[in-house]
Structures are given as structure tokens and as C-alpha cells.
Amino acid sequence: MNSKLFSVLLFLTGTISITAQDNCSKFYPMNEGVSMEYTNYNKKGKVEGVSAFKVVESNNTGDATHATMAINMRDAKGKDAYSTSYKLTCSGNMVTLDYESLLPTEMMEQYGDMDIEISGNDIEIPNELTVGQNLNDANVAMKISMSGINMNMTVDMTNRKVEKKESVTTTAGTYDCFVLYSENRSKMMMANQVYPSRVWLAEGIGMVKQETYKKNGELMSSTLLTAHSK
């Protein structure tokens, strides 16, 4: 369960998409029907699965644009492995992702009527990025009470910064990207793990590439954009 949450969280730090023609977002898709496909690889470059993203709803309220993104993950054999959705908002010069949306729907259904408390800070991606720029930390925390026993889970994204600019070539094309770095800490009960990551983000496209590392810098997994449609 915790690994699923962490994987989705990493996607959401920069995953996605296409410049909206009628709202304020540069890096996130906000138009209904926009879709992206990402192929996921293990540390040896072997395909582990494919993730499909699609904007299923979009609307404007005042000076803000709100959208819902659906995610479907399939394993290497094409079998559905996991599905969820999240909400994002664009207002002014900033796109924000609701921290509660980081908690997968199937996880919430699993705990049913249990007493659950959720708190956190939204993920923010400014429309204007520059090399050396520091980005605000983000986190989500969940406290579950079961028969007098409390279970806590948190995911913290710290040391977020725009590291550099770099050109990336995939089967979908060649893109000029900003490289966003973050350190991601996952805590659940006694488990405490830290995974640095980098996301290659292109204006007008969104996430083109992502790499996740062990604490010592060794590559754990990677993701590449393999298809997108307006």
C-alpha cells in the first residue's frame, strides 16, 4: 500500500502535460481529453509497466481553472494494476495539487468507516521556472484509528529545486526540459525511507522523464513519455 502511494506521489511532482490554450497552466494539462502515456522501467532498463493519464474533467471558476486527472497503471503484461485520480488547480502564476488527492481512492475505501485524519501542504509548480530556483516543500499525512490503536503514514517532499536545463530524447521526440530535484521521505509505522528523484519537465508537454534513486544515488527506476495526445 505504501509503495503505491509513494509511486503516485512521485508522478504528481511534475508529471504531465500540455500547455492549456484557455487557462493559466504551462506545465499541467487542464483541457478535457488530453492524455499521456508513460513507460516505467526498473534499474536495468526492463519494462515494468505503462501508466496512462487523462484529463476527464475541467472547469473555470472566477480566475481559477480546476481539472481532474485519471490515472491507470498496467503491469508489464498489460494487466490493470492500479487506478486513481487527483485534482489540480491553476490560478495566477501557480498550479497546485490538492494534498488529499495524493491518497489513492482504493486506499481510502480499504479503511472504510475508520476514523481518519488527513493533513498536509499542496504541491506547487510555478509557471515561471529558472535554474537555481527553490520550490516549496510539500507533504501529506494520514492518521488512522483502529480499536484504540493509531497508525500514522506520511510522505514528505523536501529540498525541491530547479537543478538545470537539459535536452531529452525519447521515442516521443526531443524536448528542452527543466530538471526538478526533490528528496522524498516515506514514513509508515517503523519504516522510514528516503528516495531522491529528478523530473524532466518541458513547457507545452509536461513530464518527459523521471528517475528515482536510492539514498546513495543508485538508480532504482525510471519513466519516459512514450505517447501524448491533445
Give me the CATH number covering residue 83: 2.40.360.20
Cell of 173: 521526440
| C-alpha dist (Å) from residue 226 to 50, 68, 150, 220 | 9, 22, 42, 20
In whole numbers, what is the pLDDT of the chain averaged over residues? 80
Task: Tell me if 165 sits within 8 A of 175, measured CB to CB.
Answer: no
Range of the domain at 139: 2-229
Which of 48-57, 91-100, 158-167, 177-186 bottoms out in mean pLDDT, i.e. has the lowest?
91-100
The pLDDT score that the predictor gives to residue 18 is 35
Q: Return contacts of 107-115, CB within 8 angstroms, 24+ apart.
A: 107/1, 107/4, 107/5, 110/1, 111/144, 114/144, 114/145, 114/146, 115/144, 115/145
The pLDDT score that the predictor gives to residue 131 is 96
Q: pTM here?
A: 0.80
Count of the separate structural domains present in the chain: 1
Per-residue model confidence as pLDDT tens digits over 40-93:
999 999 999 998 988 888 888 888 888 888 888 888 888 988 787 878 888 878
The pLDDT score that the predictor gives to residue 110 is 60
Q: Say whether pLDDT at 7 is over 70.
A: no
* Average pLDDT of span 120-133: 86
Highest mean pLDDT among 88-102, 163-177, 189-203: 163-177
Q: Say whether pLDDT at 22 is over 50.
A: no
Q: Which residues of 137-150 are buried (b: 16+ CB within 10 A; e: fewer)?
A: ebbbbbeeeeeeee
Cell of 150: 493509531
Per-residue model confidence as pLDDT tens digits over 216-230:
899 999 999 999 887
Highest mean pLDDT among 26-30, 59-63, 174-178: 174-178
